Structure 1
Amino acid sequence: MADVTHTHGKRVSHLTEPTHPLDQLAPSEIERGRVILEREGKLSETSRFPSVMPVEPPKDVVRAFTPGNDLHRRIEYIVLDTATGISVEYIVNLSEDAIERERRVDSDVRPYGQPTYLFEEFEQADQIVRSCPAWQAAMRRRGLEDHLDTAFIGPLAPGFFARDDEQGRRVIRSVTFLKEFETDSHWAHPVEGLLVTLDLTKGEVIRVEDDSDTPTHMGSGNYGPDVAGPDRESIKPIEITQPEGPSFTVEGSKVEWEGFSFRVGFNAREGLVLSQLTVKDGDEERPIMYRGSVPEMVVPYGDTSINRYWISYFDAGEYYLGKNANSLALGCDCLGVIHYFDGSSHDDHGRPVTIPQAVCMHEEDYSILWKHTELGHQPDVRRQRRLVISYFATVGNYDYGFYWYLYLDGTIEVEAKATGIVYNGSGIPGEIEPHRSEIAPGLFSPVHQHLFCARLDLEIDGADNYVDEVDLAQVPMGEANPYGNAFTWTKTRIETEQGRTADNLKGRTWHIGSNSRRNHIGKPTEYQLVSEGLPTLLADPDSFVAARAAFASKHTWVTKYHEEELWPAGRYPNQHAGGGGLPEYIADAESVDGGDIVLWHTFGPTHIPRPEDWPIMPVDAYHFWLKPYGFFDRNPALNIPDWSTRGAGGCCESNSPSDADVAASPCCSSGADAPAEVESMEAQHTGANPSAAAAPPQETPLPRFGVRS
Structure 2
Amino acid sequence: MTTTEGHVDSTHVGRAAHPLDPISAAEVDAVREALVAAGRIGETTRFASVQLHEPHKREVLEFKEGDAVDRRALVVLLDLAAGDVHEAVVNATAAEVESFHRIPTETHPYGQPAVIMEEFERIDVAVKSDARWQKAVAERGFLDHDKLIILPLAPGYFGFENEKGKRIMRAFTLFREKQTDSPWANPLEGLIAYVDLTAAKVVELFDYGVVPLPSEHGNFREGDWGPSRTDLKPLEIVQPEGPSFRVDGRLVEWQNWKFRVGFDQREGLVLHQLSFRDGDRERPIMYRGSLSEMVVPYADPNPMRFWINYFDIGEYGLGKLTTSLQNGCDCLGEIHYFDAVLADDNGAPYTAKNVVCLHEEDYGVLWKHSELYDDMHDETRRSRRLVISFWTAIGNYDYGFFWYLYQDGTIEYEAKLTGIVFANAQLEGTENPYATQIAPGLVAPFHQHLFNVRLDMTVDGVANTVEESEVVRLPRSDENPFGNAFTVKSTAITSEADAGRMADPLISRTWKVVNPESTNRLGQPASYKLVPHASPVLLAADGASVRDRAAFATKHLWVTQYDPAERYAAGEYPNQHAGGSGIPAFQAADRNLVQEDVVLWHTFGTTHVPRTEDWPIMPVEYAGFTLKPVNFFERNPTLDLPKPTLKNHCAHGATCTCDHDHN
User: Do Structure 1 and Structure 2 share a fold, with TM-score over 0.5?
Assistant: yes
- Is the 8 Å Cα contact of residues 194 and 306 (structure 1) preserved in structure 2? no
Aligned-pair distance for 1:219? Answer: 1.6
Question: What are the residue-to-residue correspondences of 1:353-432 with 2, within 5 Å?
Answer: 353-375=350-372, 376-432=375-431
Instruction: Report what 1:19 is aligned to.
Output: 17
Instruction: Report what 1:208 is aligned to.
Output: 205
Write the deviation string for residues 345-388 of structure 1: whole angstroms up to 9, x where unpaired. 11110111211001000000001100111122232111100000
Q: Is residue 622 from structure 1 mapped to residue 619 from structure 2 by the alignment?
A: no
Match of 1:450, SS state, is strand
Write the deviation string for residues 658-704 of structure 1: whole angstroms up to 9, x where unpaired. xxx89xx999xxxxxxxxxxxxxxxxxxxxxxxxxxxxxxxxxxxxx
The amino acid that maps onto 2:67 is N
Distance 1:63 1:54 in 2: 17
Question: What are the residue-to-residue correspondences of 1:99-178 with 2, within 5 Å?
Answer: 99-141=97-139, 143-178=140-175
Instruction: Report what 2:481 is aligned to.
Output: 482
- Is the 8 Å Cα contact of residues 367 and 380 (structure 2) preserved in structure 1? yes
Distance 1:104 1:552 in 2: 29
Distance 1:236 1:27 in 2: 44
- Is the 8 Å Cα contact of residues 303 and 446 (structure 1) preserved in structure 2? yes
Q: Which has the larger radius of gyration?
A: 1
Distance 1:194 1:233 in 2: 44
Write the deviation string for residues 183-225 of structure 1: whole angstroms up to 9, x where unpaired. 2111001111211001010112111111133222242011112
Match of 1:187, SS state, is helix
- Is the 8 Å Cα contact of residues 380 and 658 (structure 2) preserved in structure 1? no
Distance 1:239 1:114 in 2: 47
Write the deviation string for residues 95-139 of structure 1: whole angstroms up to 9, x where unpaired. 333211111111101000000111010111011111111112222
- Is the 8 Å Cα contact of residues 17 and 28 (structure 1) preserved in structure 2? no
Write the deviation string for residues 316-362 of structure 1: whole angstroms up to 9, x where unpaired. 10000000001111111100000000012111101112110010000
Match of 2:118, SS state, is helix
Instruction: Report what 1:496 is aligned to.
Output: 495
Instruction: Report what 1:460 is aligned to.
Output: 459
Distance 2:469 2:419 in 1: 37
Instruction: Report what 1:706 is aligned to.
Output: none
Kindly tell me: are residues 115 and 34 of structure 1, through their superposed partners in 2, closer, same or farther at Cα, counting changes over 3 Å? same
Distance 1:218 1:347 in 2: 40
Distance 1:212 1:556 in 2: 44
Match of 2:377, SS state, is coil
Instruction: Report what 1:532 is aligned to.
Output: 533
Q: Is residue 81 from structure 1 mapped to residue 79 from structure 2 by the alignment?
A: yes
The amino acid that maps onto 1:267 is D
Kindly tell me: are residues 654 and 418 of structure 1, through their superposed partners in 2, closer, same or farther at Cα, counting changes over 3 Å? closer
Instruction: Report what 2:522 is aligned to.
Output: 521
- Is the 8 Å Cα contact of residues 16 and 26 (structure 1) preserved in structure 2? no
Distance 1:431 1:197 in 2: 27
Match of 1:373, SS state, is strand
Give the counterpart of 1:36 among 14, 34, 37: 34
- Is the 8 Å Cα contact of residues 193 and 305 (structure 1) preserved in structure 2? no
Give the counterpart of 2:180 among 180, 183, 186: 183
Match of 2:18, SS state, is coil
Q: Is residue 333 from structure 1 mapped to residue 333 from structure 2 by the alignment?
A: no
- Is the 8 Å Cα contact of residues 46 and 78 (structure 2) preserved in structure 1? yes
- Is the 8 Å Cα contact of residues 414 and 622 (structure 2) preserved in structure 1? yes
Kindly tell me: are residues 378 and 109 of structure 1, through their superposed partners in 2, closer, same or farther at Cα, counting changes over 3 Å? same
Post-superposition, which runs of at least 4 consecutive aligned residues in structure 1 deviate over 6 A? none
Instruction: Please give the root-mean-square deviation of Cα atoms over the aligned residues, in Å.
Output: 1.8
Match of 2:547, SS state, is helix
Match of 1:317, SS state, is helix
Distance 2:173 2:190 in 1: 9
Match of 1:643, SS state, is coil
Write the deviation string for residues 379-418 of structure 1: whole angstroms up to 9, x where unpaired. 2111100000000000100000000000010000010000
The amino acid that maps onto 1:509 is T
- Is the 8 Å Cα contact of residues 147 and 178 (structure 1) preserved in structure 2? no
Instruction: Report what 1:590 is aligned to.
Output: 591
Kindly tell me: are residues 366 and 666 of structure 1, through their superposed partners in 2, closer, same or farther at Cα, counting changes over 3 Å? closer
Instruction: Report what 1:567 is aligned to.
Output: 568
Distance 1:16 1:316 in 2: 30
The amino acid that maps onto 2:415 is A
Give the counterpart of 2:315 among 306, 314, 318: 318
- Is the 8 Å Cα contact of residues 644 and 658 (structure 2) preserved in structure 1? no
Instruction: Report what 1:56 is aligned to.
Output: 54
Distance 1:187 1:655 in 2: 46
Aligned-pair distance for 1:72? Answer: 2.2
Instruction: Report what 1:98 is aligned to.
Output: 96
Instruction: Report what 2:298 is aligned to.
Output: 301
Write the deviation string for residues 496-542 of structure 1: whole angstroms up to 9, x where unpaired. 11211101111110011102111111111011100011000001121
Q: Is residue 472 from structure 1 mapped to residue 471 from structure 2 by the alignment?
A: yes
Instruction: Report what 1:682 is aligned to.
Output: none
Distance 1:16 1:151 in 2: 47
- Is the 8 Å Cα contact of residues 168 and 196 (structure 2) preserved in structure 1? yes
Distance 1:310 1:410 in 2: 43
- Is the 8 Å Cα contact of residues 15 and 68 (structure 2) preserved in structure 1? no
Distance 1:391 1:399 in 2: 11
Bigger shift: residues 584-593 or 475-484: 475-484
Match of 2:476, SS state, is coil
Instruction: Report what 1:438 is aligned to.
Output: 437
The amino acid that maps onto 1:245 is G
Distance 1:226 1:206 in 2: 43
Aligned-pair distance for 1:228? Answer: 3.2
The amino acid that maps onto 2:270 is V
Distance 1:218 1:154 in 2: 21
Instruction: Report what 2:6 is aligned to.
Output: none
Distance 2:578 2:222 in 1: 46
Kindly tell me: are residues 380 and 654 of structure 1, through their superposed partners in 2, closer, same or farther at Cα, counting changes over 3 Å? farther
Kindly tell me: are residues 220 and 648 of structure 1, through their superposed partners in 2, closer, same or farther at Cα, counting changes over 3 Å? closer
Distance 1:117 1:324 in 2: 11
Match of 2:134, SS state, is helix
Kindly tell me: are residues 549 and 125 of structure 1, through their superposed partners in 2, closer, same or farther at Cα, counting changes over 3 Å? same
- Is the 8 Å Cα contact of residues 430 and 441 (structure 1) preserved in structure 2? no
Aligned-pair distance for 1:637? Answer: 0.7
- Is the 8 Å Cα contact of residues 541 and 547 (structure 1) preserved in structure 2? no
The amino acid that maps onto 2:40 is K
The amino acid that maps onto 1:107 is T
Distance 1:216 1:446 in 2: 17
- Is the 8 Å Cα contact of residues 470 and 489 (structure 1) preserved in structure 2? yes
Distance 1:114 1:485 in 2: 57
Aligned residues: 644
The amino acid that maps onto 2:20 is L
Kindly tell me: are residues 191 and 514 of structure 1, through their superposed partners in 2, closer, same or farther at Cα, counting changes over 3 Å? same
Distance 1:378 1:654 in 2: 26
Bigger shift: residues 348-357 or 224-233: 224-233
- Is the 8 Å Cα contact of residues 551 and 580 (structure 2) preserved in structure 1? yes
Give the counterpart of 1:284 among 281, 284, 293: 281
- Is the 8 Å Cα contact of residues 175 and 187 (structure 2) preserved in structure 1? yes
Instruction: Report what 1:450 is aligned to.
Output: 449
Match of 1:477, SS state, is coil
Match of 1:285, SS state, is strand
Identity %: 48
The amino acid that maps onto 1:345 is L
* TM-score of the superposed pair, with normalisation by structure 1: 0.89
- Is the 8 Å Cα contact of residues 189 and 218 (structure 1) preserved in structure 2? no
